[in-house]
Structures are given as C-alpha cells and as structure tokens.
Structure 1
Amino acid sequence: MAKLLQIDFPFAGPFGADMTEALKELAVSITEEPGFIWKIWTENASEQDAGGIYLFKTEEAAQAYLEKHTARLKGLGVDKVHAKIFDVNEALSKITGGPI
C-alpha cells in the first residue's frame, strides 16, 4: 500500500524562484530514492516554513527517506522537523483527483 509522508520544518529561505534554483539538484536526487513516487514541495515565506508531501510505494521506503532527510536537515542546523506517515485511501483519493 502506498504511504504518504508529510514533512515540515522552520526554513529561512530562499523561497519561490530562488528556492527552485537553489534546490534543483536536491529535487533530482529525491527522484532516485528507493520507492519514491512523487513529491509536492511546500513553502510559506511569511511563516518561514518549508517541507513537502511525498508518496512512497511502501512504509519502509517512506521511513528510510524520513530518517535520511531528517539527518540532512539536522546537519544544516534544523532542529525541529515535523513528520507523519499516513496510509493512503486510494479509492477515495481517485474520486477526488488525487495523483495515485
């Protein structure tokens, strides 16, 4: 069953087009993670937060990426990483246009 991973953390920027330019390599590397399906990038400049919503093929893949990404963020000085892993109700998601 597919697993959704939600991550957010304090982030001072860059945001918008500057974020896109600064994080292109990271975006490409994420596509190579085992079990990765897709990611939606999230950012809120006014609240100084960023993160993402990811879909992985398995809970093991989601958990492995969460551990890797949390360590990467902590290495960059981010000490508060919020994350949750959810089951995906594929039938209802398909009805509402979810990218399953």
Structure 2
Amino acid sequence: MRLLQMDFKTEGPWGDDMSIAFKELAKDISTEDKLIWKIWTENEETGEGGGIYLFETQEALDKYLKKHTERLTGFGITDIIAKVFNVNEPLTLMNRGYLGETR
C-alpha cells in the first residue's frame, strides 16, 4: 500500500462551497484504478488545499499523480507538493485505519 499526500496554495472555494464546486471532480477521482480512498484537505487560514490518497499499488499512484498534477496545472495551480509514503499496515489497523475491504 502506498499513500500520497498532495498540498498546494489555493484561493478556495472552502467548506460547503468546495463540496458543491468539486462534486464532479470527486466523482471522477473515485473511479481511479486501485484507489482505496481520498481525504480532501483544506485550510482557509493558510490558503492551502489538497488531499491524502491511499492506493493499492505504486503503479496506480504514479499514474494518478501524473494525471492530477497535469489537471492542477491546467487550473493554474503551481508549487504542488507531492509526498509518497509506505503504510505500516499492522500499526494502522491497530489504530482503526481503514485499509480496504480485504484487510
């Protein structure tokens, strides 16, 4: 399992407005191959947005990272920070982390 954290500067929208504005984008993201989940992140005070994603494989993560970076760049978003992590599954499960249906 691989975790992707993406952060970038944004002027919003925030909260409920974000939920409405990005509903179709969220539907599209939900169809990504081998994506287990995404957590949408936002901090209006610092002008930052992004997400944390859990993928089954590195290959799926790499494919999505390329696609989403190009999409964000197309929106005029620059200075995208992407970090990739391994997931320690036994400890995550011990702390009630959801790792998918088969775990």
Structure 1 counterpart of 2:48, one-letter code: D
Deviation at 1:72, TM superposition (A): 0.6
Deviation at 1:50, TM superposition (A): 0.3
> What is the correspondence of 1:52-71 to structure 2 with a 5 Å cutoff?
52-71=51-70
Q: Name the CA distance, whole Å, in 1 between partners of 2:88 and 2:72.
A: 29
Q: Name the CA distance, whole Å, in 2 between partners of 1:85 and 1:59.
A: 9
- SS of aligned partner of 1:70: helix
Gaps of 5+ in 1: none
Aligned length: 99
Task: Work out whether 1:95 is the aligned partner of 2:65.
Answer: no
Task: Work out whether 1:13 is the aligned partner of 2:12.
Answer: yes
Structure 1 ranges of 4+ moved more than 6 A: none
- SS of aligned partner of 2:83: strand
In the other structure, the counterpart of 1:41 is: 40
Gaps of 5+ in 2: none
- SS of aligned partner of 1:66: helix
Deviation at 1:85, TM superposition (A): 1.1
Structure 1 counterpart of 2:55, one-letter code: F
Q: Name the CA distance, whole Å, in 2 between partners of 1:23 and 1:72.
A: 13
In the other structure, the counterpart of 2:77 is: 78
Deviation at 1:81, TM superposition (A): 0.5
Q: Name the CA distance, whole Å, in 2 between partners of 1:75 and 1:87.
A: 29
Deviation at 1:79, TM superposition (A): 1.3
**TM-score, normalising length from structure 2?**
0.94
Q: Percent identity, aligned pairs only? A: 52
Deviation at 1:89, TM superposition (A): 0.5
**TM-score, normalising length from structure 1?**
0.96
